[in-house]
Structure 1
Amino acid sequence: MSSKTKKVNFQIKSWDENTDRSLILSIYNAHRKHILSEAYVEQKKDIFLMLGDKVKYSRDFLLAENEKGEIVGVAGLTNFLGNVKSTRLIYGILPEYFNSTLPQQLLKAAIALGKKLKLSTLVLDTKGSNSAPFDNALEHMGYHPIQYLLEMHLTDFIQTTPVDLPLDVSILQKSGEPDNYHLYVDLINKSFIGSFEFLPAKAESSKKIFQIRKNQFDIEVFYVKNQQQPIGVSVFFVDAQKKIGTIYSVGILPEYRHRGIGTKLLEATIQTAKNQGCKTIQLDVHVDNEKALNLYQKLGFQSNENMKSTFYKVI
């Protein structure tokens, strides 16, 4: 234990059904604000709805208390509505306890809970340089990264060399959630199958996610059509207050790639975000996806190494 490590005795216990969820949410938001800084967007109470109907808090969540009996941390196991292959470990502690024994203690307890529940796979991620205490704790426990996502920011959009869309290909824009979720998930599933942690989406789950998101963000959906046949989709969310646009997905069916269609779809998404007043646009990309990285850099995105997401498989 270093001289800077805060010496506090913590108690990790199961979720109490009388727990004030607004308190838990405030801890989660304080954690996120500390690690995300200017990219932070406050999570609303609806975030609990995104955890899915299968979550049982008394079984799947842990609370951390300090010596005064105050709740200062939370960890939970969830499949995020079934949109990833593995169960995910989500967590948050108050920033003043980052340099204490709590990160390691809470992660150990959550992993032990996952093993007790006989989970086949449990994955968690850290975000940015301020998450170093959690990375250090995981390294100390013998866990190593399995994947990285690099966050990229765009402030100055660079239009690429004009390339016309192929004949009969058009891009259509819709504000708000998708009209046809079965069409949307079909495009997403066919475009992203085989990607890291991707599990085919379901219409009902996607609808629930969008309905929660629309309470917090403005949503724009773009469809690419070839002779009226949908061949691609892009989605971005805009936080109305901070004017930070987040590109949620850009997908083109495999048989229509390498024709400049994906680039045009991304450009249309970016331009609309800029027209709506977004000062910054952000997205995540796998660090080993050289083609995507080159395209994003060509359009003006700059990588933020300090905001790299690091994934760990702990079960």
Structure 2
Amino acid sequence: MAYSLEMTRMSSKTKKVNFQIKSWDENTDRSLILSIYNAHRKHILSEAYVEQKKDIFLMLGDKVKYSRDFLLAENEKGEIVGVAGLTNFLGNVKSTRLIYGILPEYFNSTLPQQLLKAAIALGKKLKLSTLVLDTKGSNSAPFDNALEHMGYHPIQYLLEMHLTDFIQTTPVDLPLDVSILQKSGEPDNYHLYVDLINKSFIGSFEFLPAKAESSKKIFQIRKNQFDIEVFYVKNQQQPIGVSVFFVDAQKKIGTIYSVGILPEYRHRGIGTKLLEATIQTAKNQGCKTIQLDVHVDNEKALNLYQKLGFQSNENMKSTFYKVI
């Protein structure tokens, strides 16, 4: 089917367009679906947008059956203008995600609510125990409004923070026998990486345990988009923490993907030193901006990032909803 990604000026009023939500057609061109998803992401993320290529289908995993798990939205002309699907790429029964995307010119229409409602109904039909989705930034307001209209309320928020002024902070001395080792590229031991992350975050802020297989899949996709730096913290050669840093060399943007210190080693300045090492790496690689996401209720982490010069960006806050 022919369609256009050219954006039209959006009215402040909701567009009255008749949409038809259909099951996935196995003859559907996946590149068309990817174009819609990218157009959606570019509209809401603006400068932070990173184009998704065919790797997104690898991330969804081989357990996804599109004719069972995905829906397509068509406009009055029969053109595909939206897609929504259910995936469990993290491999956790409590982490089934609803992913979605529509062409930006339909944000101010009834499509956001109609598509989300149909996808949630599909999840219930498949008897999912849990289904979660998220919105990103102020441009996602039509989806937040649709979810509120359907009676759903946020369960958590992630705040985006960024650092553009790499000020020189007062160096923090590491405790004796503690060292930081840096490795370029993906983790060489995914079981160790996942073990450190899970032990660092389990029981906090709706954290769902990671799995080595799904983490490896994510990193294999990310390495096609970014340069990757992994920092390990060791105490007498025993791993006690880890940090992962992605670098978009073209845009000169670095992203702190994860920072985890085992609970028994916190409040010793180790996390600060780990972040300082990450910031120095960003400077060495020519980054102009470093960004990260942090839970809005994680006051200790917020204070640490602010102390290092990070500023929050309320317009790019992620909002999570549990719809099943």
Shorter-chain TM-score tier: over 0.9
CA distance in 1, matches of 2:68, 2:281: 44
Structure 1: which 5+ residue stretches go unaligned?
A: none
Query: Which whole-Å deviations, capped at 9, do the CAs of 1:244-276 have from their partners, x for residues lacking one?
Result: 111110000111000000110011112101211
How far is 1:238 from its partner? 1.3
CA distance change for structure 1 residues 68 and 93 in 2, over 3 Å: closer, same or farther?
same
The answer (yes or no) to whether the contact 1:85–1:197 under 8 Å persists in 2 is no
The answer (yes or no) to whether the contact 1:158–1:298 under 8 Å persists in 2 is no
Query: Which whole-Å deviations, capped at 9, do the CAs of 1:61-86 have from their partners, x for residues lacking one?
Result: 11101111111101011122325833
CA distance in 2, matches of 1:108, 1:83: 23
The answer (yes or no) to whether the contact 2:72–2:82 under 8 Å persists in 1 is yes
The answer (yes or no) to whether the contact 2:174–2:273 under 8 Å persists in 1 is yes
CA distance change for structure 1 residues 306 and 84 in 2, over 3 Å: closer, same or farther?
farther
Tell me the secondary structure at the aligned position of residue 311 of structure 1.
strand
Query: Which whole-Å deviations, capped at 9, do the CAs of 1:198-241 have from their partners, x for residues lacking one?
Result: 33222222222211111111100000011111110000111222
Tell me the secondary structure at the aligned position of residue 73 of structure 1.
strand
Tell me the secondary structure at the aligned position of residue 194 of structure 1.
coil
CA distance in 2, matches of 1:158, 1:195: 31
CA distance in 2, matches of 1:46, 1:111: 25
CA distance in 2, matches of 1:173, 1:220: 7
Report the aligned-residue RMSD.
1.6
Query: Which whole-Å deviations, capped at 9, do the CAs of 1:66-117 have from their partners, x for residues lacking one?
Result: 1111111010111223258331111000000000000000011001111111
Moved over 3 A (4+): none
TM-score between both structures, scaled by the size of structure 2: 0.94
Which one is further off, 154-163 or 46-55? 154-163
The answer (yes or no) to whether the contact 1:85–1:198 under 8 Å persists in 2 is no
CA distance in 2, matches of 1:78, 1:193: 22
Tell me the secondary structure at the aligned position of residue 69 of structure 1.
coil
TM-score between both structures, scaled by the size of structure 1: 0.96
CA distance in 2, matches of 1:314, 1:79: 15
Q: Who is 2:108 aligned against? A: 99
Which one is further off, 200-209 or 168-177? 200-209
How far is 1:51 from its partner? 1.1
Total equivalences in the alignment: 315
Tell me the secondary structure at the aligned position of residue 82 of structure 1.
coil
The answer (yes or no) to whether the contact 1:193–1:200 under 8 Å persists in 2 is yes
The answer on 1:32 being equivalent to 2:55 is no
CA distance change for structure 1 residues 3 and 266 in 2, over 3 Å: closer, same or farther?
closer
Out of 61, 75, 80, the position equivalent to 1:66 is 75
The answer (yes or no) to whether the contact 1:53–1:81 under 8 Å persists in 2 is no
How far is 1:26 from its partner? 0.8
The answer on 1:188 being equivalent to 2:189 is no
The answer (yes or no) to whether the contact 2:90–2:210 under 8 Å persists in 1 is no
How far is 1:243 from its partner? 1.8
CA distance in 1, matches of 2:182, 2:95: 33
The answer on 1:41 being equivalent to 2:77 is no
The answer (yes or no) to whether the contact 2:12–2:108 under 8 Å persists in 1 is no
The answer (yes or no) to whether the contact 1:86–1:197 under 8 Å persists in 2 is no
How far is 1:10 from its partner? 0.5
The answer (yes or no) to whether the contact 1:84–1:199 under 8 Å persists in 2 is no
Tell me the secondary structure at the aligned position of residue 225 of structure 2.
coil
CA distance in 2, matches of 1:49, 1:196: 28
The answer (yes or no) to whether the contact 2:71–2:85 under 8 Å persists in 1 is yes
